[in-house]
Structure 1
Amino acid sequence: MHTAVILLTATVIGLVIGGLTFLSDFSAPGAVLAGRGAGGLSVPVLRLQIPHQRPREGCLP
């Protein structure tokens, strides 16, 4: 679940940055590079910012 949240958030960040880059430059290749770069670089940061919760004792998985 933790990994899914991080990857989904990174995807949204990449799409937003790519969309804003495309609207400012009207360059599809530049927007793709900016979006992929932002999404890829946000994964390590998000792993540090979003804590991984361990299940409590007595809880079912």
Structure 2
Amino acid sequence: MRTALVLLLAVLAGTAVGALSALAGDGAARSLLAALTAVGLALPVAHQVIAPEPAGERAAGRGRRG
């Protein structure tokens, strides 16, 4: 779940940067490059911001399912 959230945040940041770059009048290639750069830079930031689950809570959560 955490990995999906981190990737989602990075893709959303890249989409926003790419869209703003395209609206500013940059070409398609430059907008794509800006979007991919933003995704690459947002991944470690989102990874640091979203705290991992403690090991005890993760194990306890598995028992409640099902």
Higher fraction of helix? 2
How many residues get paired?
61
Stretches of structure 1 that go unaligned for 5 or more consecutive residues are: none
TM (normalized to structure 1)? Answer: 0.87
Looking at CA atoms only, which structure, 1 or 2, has the larger radius of gyration?
2
Identity %: 31
After the TM superposition, list the runs of 4 or more consecutive aligned residues in structure 1 that deviate by more than 6 angstroms.
Answer: none
**Distance change (3 Å), C-alpha of 1:34 and 1:58:** closer
Aligned CA-pair RMSD? 1.7
Distance in 2, Cα, partners of 1:7 & 1:57: 20
TM (normalized to structure 2)? Answer: 0.81
**Distance change (3 Å), C-alpha of 1:37 and 1:59:** same
Stretches of structure 2 that go unaligned for 5 or more consecutive residues are: none
Distance in 1, Cα, partners of 2:36 & 2:58: 39
